[in-house]
Amino acid sequence: MRPMTITEKILARHAGVKEVTPGDLINAKVDIALGNDITAPIAIKEFKRIGAKKVFNKNKVVLVPDHFTPNKDIKSAEQCKILRDFAKEHKLTHYYEGGEVGVEHALLPEQGVVVPGDLVIGADSHTCTYGALGAFSTGVGSTDLAAAMITGELWFKVPETIRFNFKGKLRKWVSGKDLILHIIGDIGVDGALYKAMEFTGKTIESLSMDSRMSMCNMAIEAGAKSGIITPDAITEAYVAKRAERPYKFYSSDEGAVYSEVREYDCATIEPKVACPHLPENTKNVSELKNIPIDQVVIGSCTNGRIEDLMVAAKLLKGKKVAKYLRLIVIPATPQIYNEAMHRGLFDIFLKAGAVISPPTCGPCLGGHMGILAAGERALATTNRNFVGRMGDVKSEVYLANPAVAAATAIKGRIAHPDEVAK
């Protein structure tokens, strides 16, 4: 049998075959089919139009209304009602709203809904986040979600894999967010088009789960089908206390074929900023001088986890947000919200002059909780900075890690964390 990558192994198992090769078309069983309040209503409409009577498995269809919740207007309320009514009708195990809802790609790993070795599809492009657990996870369209909700299966073309190998110790204030921005700046927003991005090396092996999720989350910003990291002891420590199902660790075989291998030395990577209007437009934060910022957002499925909030709080403690700048902090799940509150992070944020939001995707997609006016600039820990992404088409969005975001909030301009660190 030919040596296979971790991605090929997971796809082969779910297709019920011994091996697969890049380019193969396969029909595979899915472990989780996910939708949110933007994408699931379309899938539910198709589900009903086809005449389907029940979902393939009430434990494996997951609905998370996280984009416009708490409901911002009548239309968003109606969208969420569609999900709520469907979840009730089909007695879905995994439906979250109110005090249980969180940003889906932070919520599902935290709750043990997604586990290593899974094949996960979601009608949201950042479904690739779960590759951090050693799962094959990818975004699909709403009609594909409808098909998976009914049959529990979907067809895939097996992707080629690019291997990104990192060595060296991370510099101060550098996290997984910076590593993925560095890659995207290197290969471009279509540099991994329909390929799996496999992140390897001693540096990756030492990364926290929060940083790993940040990296895999943004694989789609390089055009990738998925991002993935081989599970290890750090993964085991994370999932063992959460997993609601048995799981399996896969790893790439020695001799597995990659379409390309890229090597990076972390000693040369400093905190990065993606400038408007593409995630590939990256620069070192030290290169950006005197760029005033109107709004800073710390949160999202990329950087709204407890590690992210702790880094930001460390820099904000005892300091004030710059006058005329708005700082919005969004813990990604109720559990993260609760932990941040009990760790005293809320006191730090509030004394600094921040606004703390309940868990929501809100400003990331220009939905609510922080829309930009024409001419305004935001620096955010989110994942996209396309034209009009966070509001008016004449606004601008810069992407960075939570440390850079906190420093920027204090200075009122894009700033290196060292400028405000004690």
> What local confidence, expressed as pLDDT, does residue 391 receive?
94
Cis peptide before 277 (omega within 30 of 0): yes
Q: What is the mean pLDDT of residues 331-352?
A: 98
- Tell me, what CATH number does 59's domain have? 3.30.499.10
- Residue 1 domain-assigned? no
Average pLDDT over residues 299-303: 97
Nearest to 120 by CA among 198, 30, 49: 30
pLDDT in the model for residue 110: 97
Alpha-carbon distance of 256 to 264, in angstroms, equals 20
pLDDT value at residue 421: 87
Q: Same domain for 68 and 203?
A: yes
Q: How confident is the prediction for the chain on average, in pLDDT?
A: 97
Is residue 369 within 8 A of residue 69, CB to CB? The reply is: no
Mean pLDDT in residue range 170-182: 97
Domain housing 148: 6-264
Which of 243, 264, 285 is the last residue in one of the domains? 264
Nearest CA-CA partner of 9 in 324, 363, 217, 256? 256
pLDDT at 402: 98
pLDDT at residue number 155: 96
Kindly state the DSSP code that residue 316 receives in the 8-state scheme: H
Instruction: Report the distance separating Cα 166 and Cα 262, nearest Å.
Output: 9
CA neighbor of 208 nearest in space, from 184, 175, 183:
175
Note the pLDDT of residue 401. Answer: 98
DSSP string, 339-374: HHHHTTHHHHHHHHT-EEPPS--GGGGTSSSSPBPT
Residues 194 and 343 in one domain: no
DSSP 51-120: T--S-S-TTTEEEE--SSTTT-SHHHHHHHHHHHHHHHHHT-SEE--GGG---HHHHHHHTTSS-TT-EE
The number of distinct structural domains making up the chain is 2
pLDDT digits (tens, 9 = 90+) for 90-125: 999 999 999 999 999 999 999 999 999 999 999 999
State phi, psi for 204 to the nearest 5 degrees. -65, -40
Tell me, what's the pLDDT at 69? 84
**Which band of pLDDT confidence, cut at 50, 70 and 90, is reported for residue 380?**
very high
Residue where a domain stops, chosen among 234, 264, 294 = 264
User: What digits encode the pLDDT tens for the residues 231-282?
Assistant: 999 999 999 999 999 999 999 999 999 999 999 999 999 999 999 999 999 9
Q: Tell me: the pLDDT tens digits for 50-88?
A: 999 999 999 999 999 999 988 999 999 999 999 999 999
Q: What is the pLDDT of residues 201-240, one digit of tens each?
A: 999 999 999 999 999 999 999 999 999 999 999 999 999 9
pTM: 0.95
Q: Specify whether 80 is located in the same domain as 195.
A: yes
C-alpha–C-alpha distance, residues 181 and 222, integer Å = 9
Same structural domain for residues 59 and 129? yes
Q: What Cα–Cα distance (Å) separates residue 119 from each residue in 19, 31, 130, 155, 325?
A: 16, 5, 9, 12, 42
With a cut of 80, say whether residue 26 has pLDDT above it: yes
The answer on 120 and 79 residing in a single domain is yes
Asked if residue 92 and residue 110 are part of one domain, the reply reads yes
- Segment 169-186 shows an average pLDDT of 97
Residue 360 has pLDDT above 90, yes or no: yes
Residues 271 and 267: their CA atoms lie apart, in Å, by: 12
Q: 260 and 208, same structural domain?
A: yes
Maximum alpha-carbon separation in the chain: 64
Is pLDDT of 177 > 80? yes
